[in-house]
Amino acid sequence: MRLKVTILTALSLALGVAASGAFAQEPLKVCAAEDEMPYSNKKGEGFENKLAQLVGEELGRKVEFVTWTDPRFYLRDYLDKGLCDVSIGMDTGDPRVLTTRPYYRSGYVFITRQNDNLDLQNWDSEVLRKVERIAYVPGSPAEVMMRAIGRYNDMFNYEQELVGYKSRRNQYVKYENAKLVSEVASGRAEVAVLWGPASARYVKESATPLKVTVIPDNNTRADGEKVGFHYSTSMGVRNGEEALLAQLNQVIEKRQHDIRQILEAEGIPLLPEPEPALAMKKQD
Amino acid sequence: MRISKIARHVGTTTALVSGILLAVSQTAQANKELDQMSRQNTNWVMQTKDYSATHYSELYDINITNVKNLKVAWSFSTGVLNGHEGGPLVVDGIMYVHTPYPNNVFAIDLNDPGKILWEYKPKQNPAARAVACCDVVNRGLAYAPQGKNYPATIFLSQLDGHIVALNAKTGEMLWKMENSDIAMGSTLTVAPFVAEDKVIVGTSGAELGVRGYATAYDIKDGKQAWRVYATGPDEDIKLSKDFNKANPHYGQFGLGLKTWEGDAWKIGGGTNWGWYAYDPDLRMLYYGSGNPAPWNETMRPGDNKWTMTIWGRDIDTGEAKFGYQKTPHDEWDYAGVNYMGLSEQMVNGKMTKLLTHPDRNGLVYTLNRENGDLVNAFKIDNTVNWVKHVDLKTGLPVRDPEYSTHMDHEAKGICPSAMGYHNQGIESYDPTKQLFFMGVNHICMDWEPFMLPYRAGQFFVGATLNMYPGPKGTLGQVKAMNSVTGEFEWEVQEKFAVWGGTMATAGDLVFYGTLDGYIKALNSKTGEELWKFKLPSGVIGHPITYKHDGKQYVAIYYGVGGWPGVGLVFDLKDPTAGLGAVGAFKELAHYTQMGGGVMVFSL
């Protein structure tokens, strides 16, 4: 412990940082979305904003959010360029970065109205063939299964309508998690398929009681390839930043309980980590 | 480029053309009167000028000797600032002016152009604005003379998907039908087209997965006469029993399903928002269906029939006699809805009824319009590179894989760009010179597909398009060409595109407007510029000409916008915004700003 402090002080000095008082450390630059709720926004209302504060607190470093607007390029344009140093939520094993040990695992969920009592367990449920509208995010594993069950084409227009008919050519088109949940709450759609952590807050806030069913992780494409619906989440740092990675791993281990509290408060369905912890399998 | 070597028998052509025209007037029934009015050069009763879409007037009071004296006679502001496509109509002393959304219509008394006779201002669902891809344009009105059971009628397409019939004398609404559902991403920008007792209307929104169709409504009450789709089962596409009999290699039956994976044809696109032409003698309607959807080609393996197709259909039933797909499995958004120009020219020693179509893909196709035979297909500019040539035997384009837009391939310098070397302009054909005058875009692009991981197995799938001036350094050209020989008589460069097309006259003139706001008159024999005038705003519509009280006038809309002007209209700065148009046209803001109106010239 003593040794570590010494090393860190030496590092700070080497970097020319004034090693005095509360600002003995440089601020922790966290790559955060300006508006990608419920993960993060400018006001710090996202659950990943809270997780970042917890990390900063544990490291004794003030958190500085460096905000980006286009999630397609934030690693390339921010993390890789050194504008920020930590991404709070990434798939475990994402090859573009170094990822920490997973700090939670969750799944995609079916969201329905409680009153509808739909018999919906998995993608092979008859209900999905019958309902009028299914709200989902294209490019997610849900799209693969929408094709597999033959609902992709007849939901195409609806899928475009959800984003006001914005073309995905030459621009980032955001599917608002809150909107997709409200489609079900309002009765516009019978089912929404979303990443559990992305929808948890809105399901909880909904005036219409909603039911959440975690999608089992046993789905496959026509060619037998697995379509993953459960993912482990890690924090990510730039390749080569081994020291920071080690620190984050320590934070995750030490503050496990507090992290879990934040996630549970958010309403995120938490799944046990498989043993041994599986590396993320690339989906394509 | 393979070009059929064909003799040009100029002398005999004129005589034969007149013969055909005579035959036409005798066989045409219901809209004989419209056909005849379109030949009286005092009026301008269709967007295309006449059924053959010659956009050519026999008026010659304004000609190469005096055009330099052309002056503004009067002008009219429409009060709308978005892009003004199409042109006004002139019928018996009244000019009918339309606007982009909100799609207002004004009738102006030519005896007193200071006075609006009537106006029609539709109430529309403003949500339509968000659905339109490329500004809120409208390509113009259609006119039908009084019939047995209806008054003289003006037809208007509204952006919100409705087709409206208005009493031409009073502006009173006669009927209104929903043609396209904006909740399904389908809007209306096409100019309606009157033939026989029907008005034909298309659809927009292919990119959003709209399954394209053309619909014929009865002029008198808007009752649907027929509707024909571009994709799906043969009975929906309405193929005749002898469909493509003369050219079975174009493909015949079952292909609207078989050339798609699963039921992807249901969202397959193939809308038509361009121009129609009609042969009253053959009773055949001609138009092009547009690009397949979704735009990401990897998501729709197959030829995607019958998107990108030149159709020849029976006006009474809608049944297709022939269909020729120009770009099977489109990868570039080369929507094939453009201008269809009809002419009668000598082919292999025989006077032949032809259809000429400058496609967005950079090729000019000429077909025998009776049976669909491919007479010729050549590059409109030698910088076209996605295709090496068209094999006239198979009708297929021979592609250069370097310029493909496959998911794993970043293509640089594709010519033409997604905007095409020829977009929505109406072109003209001077039958005495056997020359088409073409406003040509000269814009190329880089197409970078991306598939970027996000989290929880989600990917962002899309493409970045960057458009810029072609190798000649300009954005536009005007060319005079013979469609049968493929020879170009002359060409001139334009700094910006000639988006709206051309109008030719017997005064040996060709008129057009430029994006930076000039109306110009060239000598149609040589391409020499004889006159120009700077309009209050850039042009994306087409000029027309008419005669009133013995005096010839030339009229044109100003009002920059449309796809090339989206940067100006929506104040976009990112070069890849506006589907990549902003980069190509970023200079435009230094030359013109938004406006909207009609300007009329006379000697």
Read off the pLDDT of residues B61-83 as tens digits, 9 standing for 90 and up.
Answer: 999 999 999 999 999 999 999 99
Q: Which of B231, B407, B460 to mutate to probe the A interface, most A CBs <10 Å?
A: B460
Buried b (16+ CB within 10 A) or exposed e, B236-252: bbbbbeebbeebeebbe
Asked if the Cβ–Cβ distance from A90 to B455 is below 8 Å, we say yes
pLDDT digits (tens, 9 = 90+) for B15-40: 444 444 444 433 345 589 999 999 99
Closest CA relative to residue B303, chosen from B365, B342, B254, B349: B254
- Tell me which residues of chain B, numbers 529 to 558, contact chain A at a CB-CB cutoff of 8 Å: none
What mean pLDDT value characterizes chain A?
89
- Beta-bridge partners for B75: B599
- d(CA B51, CA B38) in angstroms, rounded, equals 8
Q: Is A157 within 8 Å of B295 when comparing Cβ atoms?
A: no
In words, the CATH class of domain A105-227 is alpha beta
Verdict on whether the full-model pTM lies above 0.95: no
Count CB atoms within 10 A of the CB of residue B2.
Answer: 12
Contact A91 B264 (CB under 8 A): no
Chain A residues close to B263, C-beta within 8 Å: 150, 153
Query: B394 CA to chain A: closest CA distance, Å?
Result: 32
Judge whether B184 is closer than 8 Å to chain A, CB to CB. yes
- Is there a contact between A144 and A270 (Cβ–Cβ < 8 Å)? no
* Residue A29 confidence (pLDDT): 97
Give the closest-approach CA distance of A116 to chain B in angstroms.
Answer: 26
Contact B299/A169 with Cβ under 8 angstroms?
no
B333 included as an active-site residue = yes
* pLDDT value of residue B569: 80
pLDDT averaged over chain B? 92
Query: Who among B184, B453, B455 is closest to A157 (CB)?
Result: B184
CB atoms A167 and B450 under 8 Å:
no
Which residues, 6+ apart, have CB-to-CB distance to B564 below 8 Å?
B419, B496, B497, B499, B515, B540, B581, B584, B585, B588
CATH architecture of B10-602: 8 Propeller (2.140)
Pairing verdict, β A28-33 and A63-68 = parallel
- Using an 8 Å CB-CB cutoff, list chain A residues near B578: 170
- CA A133 to chain centroid: 25
Q: Which candidate from B185, B462, B579 shows the least CB-CB separation from A165? A: B185
pLDDT digits (tens, 9 = 90+) for B108-127: 999 999 899 999 999 998 88
Q: Could B455 and A231 be called an inter-chain contact, meaning their C-beta atoms sit closer than 8 Å?
A: yes
Mean pLDDT across B521-532: 98
Q: How distant is the alpha carbon of residue A232 from its chain centre? A: 10
CB half-sphere exposure, B53, CA atoms < 13 A:
29
| Dihedral pair phi/psi, residue A59, rounded to 5° | -85, -5
pLDDT tens-place string over residues B477-526: 999 999 999 999 999 999 999 999 999 999 999 999 999 999 999 999 99
pLDDT tens figures, B244-289: 999 999 999 999 999 999 889 999 999 999 999 999 999 999 999 9
The answer, yes or no, to whether residue A278 has pLDDT greater than 70, is: no
> B135, B197, B330, B333: which is the annotated catalytic residue?
B333
A1: pLDDT confidence band, cut at 50, 70 and 90? very low
In CATH, the number for domain A2-104+233-266 is 3.40.190.10
